[in-house]
Structures are given as structure tokens and as C-alpha cells.
Amino acid sequence: MNWFRRPKYTTLTPLSQKREKLPQGGIWIKCEECNELIYKKEWLKLLKVCPKCGFHFQISPEERIKIIFDKGSWKESFSEIKPVDSLGFKDIKGYRERLTEYQKKVGSLDAITCGKGKIRGITVASCLLDFSFMGGSMGSVMGEKIALTAEMAQAERIPLLIFSASGGARMQEGIVSLLQMAKTVSAINLLKKEGGFYLSVLCNPTTGGVAASFAFLGDIVIAEPKALIGFAGPRVIEQTIKEKLPPGFQRAEFLSEHGMVDMVVKRKELKEKIFYLVRFFTVSQ
């Protein structure tokens, strides 16, 4: 027996090639609702929904477009409209500086994306709010783009679909931001007066001036599960009325039970439900 024979080594695949590509930001994420750790790949497959408690995380307009609209059908409109600092507003930072920071961070000019696309072949005009841009706050740009999209839906006789996710009016624009409540309500009422169909989807959170204006004007109002929906937050209400609020107050399920929203629909079922509604209320007419 040859004790000094060199062993034959097999060629090993580098570990870096074997390992699956890890999600950005680590492999675990903590649920905002139940505080449980979620395997990030499973969370992404579930469209950013907690598999343990069903909490629906916020998603960007781009992610929602991929979920809701037929592949390759989305065409953005009014993308050139951008906010201005007409008041020269400044707190810790100037409004202009904040806008620049968010525009670089988020990659859009403001907290809303508008356009039209097809849902199972049916063309729909849509606005999608982005909470990651200054809390989805409503300023002059949001009001203008919603009004223009409603006019587009009216002119082309197609349904209007709005996904809301907002903390309310944008204080840096002062009274101009509050005027957008009346502007959006007027535009949508004109659409409905002409027989147009408006479907509103309330995402987490939908509060303040957005909740008090266009968000609740839908012919049908849908909410995502466990979404926080209301004008003022629960803590503000409790401090004002000096009473303890009922469990689940201002959550989607509570509002559904009390007739404030028509239905609560899970994200994975949302496209099919929207398709059924727009087909029933528009195509069949």
C-alpha cells in the first residue's frame, strides 16, 4: 500500500455560486403588526403580506402596477407635473430641499403616479399614491393629477381606479393643499355625473384630507386588510373625546362592519375583484 499517494480531490463549486441570491436588506423582516419575524423570500412571494397575521405592508406604485395591471399595458400620464415651493416654507429644512431629497430617494417627482392600463383586457384610468414620498401627502400636484385623470376617464369613457395611501394634506403648501380636497371632489363628481364609474381602494394608511375627500367617494370602496383608515388618528381622538376607543377602531374590518367600506379584499385577490367590478359596472352597460 502506498502511504504517500496524493489523494484525488474533486472539483468543488464555490459556495458563492451555490448559495441563492439573498434579498436586499437581509433574509428576515419584522411584521409591523404582530412583531413576528418573516422569511423575506416568503414575504415577497406573498406580495409583502405577513403569512402569520395577514398584515399588508405598504408597497410602491410600481409594485402595485405589476400586481394589478396586465403586463406591458401600463402607460403613465402627466409625469412632467412637479411641485413648487410657492410659499418659501421652511421648518427644520426648506420645502424645496425636502422635495429634492424625496425625489432622489423615491425616484418620482411627487407622491402620486397616474396613467392607464388594462386589467384582464379592460382599460382603466388609475392614480396610485405613494406613502414613501412625504407620507403620501396631498399637495397641488396630487390634486391636479387626480383631476386630470378623472377628466381623461370621462373623455375616454373608462373607469377610474384610485389607490389611496396618505397621511393627509401637505402642510408645506398651506391653504393650497387644502384646496385640493375641493378640487378632487369636484372632478370626481363631474365624472360620476356623466355616468363614469369610480372604484376606490383604501390602503394602509388612508387618513386626513385624502380620507375626507376623494378616497370615500367611490361607487365601490374597497379596503386592504387591517388598513388604518380615518380622518384623525386614534390617539388624537382619544385625547379629544377623553374616552377609550373600541378594539380595532379605524381598521378596515371595523369600518366594513359599520358600513363605511363595501368590502375588505386581500392583495392577492385584488386584481380579480377589481376586474369583476369594472366589468360588471362598465362593460355590461
Q: What pTM was estimated for this model as a whole?
A: 0.89
Helix ranges (H only) for the chain are: 15-18, 40-45, 61-68, 95-106, 140-156, 175-193, 208-211, 234-241, 252-257, 267-278
Q: Is residue 17 part of a domain?
A: no
Total count of domains within the chain? 2
Q: Between 116 and 16, where is the model more confident?
A: 116
In a shared domain, residues 73 and 35: no
Q: What is the mean pLDDT of the chain?
A: 92
Confidence of residue 15 (pLDDT cuts 50, 70, 90): very low
Alpha-carbon dihedral 51, 53, 57, 62, rounded to 10 degrees: 40
Q: Please check whether residues 205 and 279 belong to one and the same domain.
A: yes
pLDDT bucket at 18, cuts 50 / 70 / 90:
very low
Q: Can you give the residue range of the structural domain that contains 86?
A: 58-283
Whole-number Å distance between alpha carbons of 131 and 59: 8
Residue at a domain's end among 40, 55, 70 = 55
Question: What is the CATH number for 154?
Answer: 3.90.226.10
216 and 115 in a common domain: yes
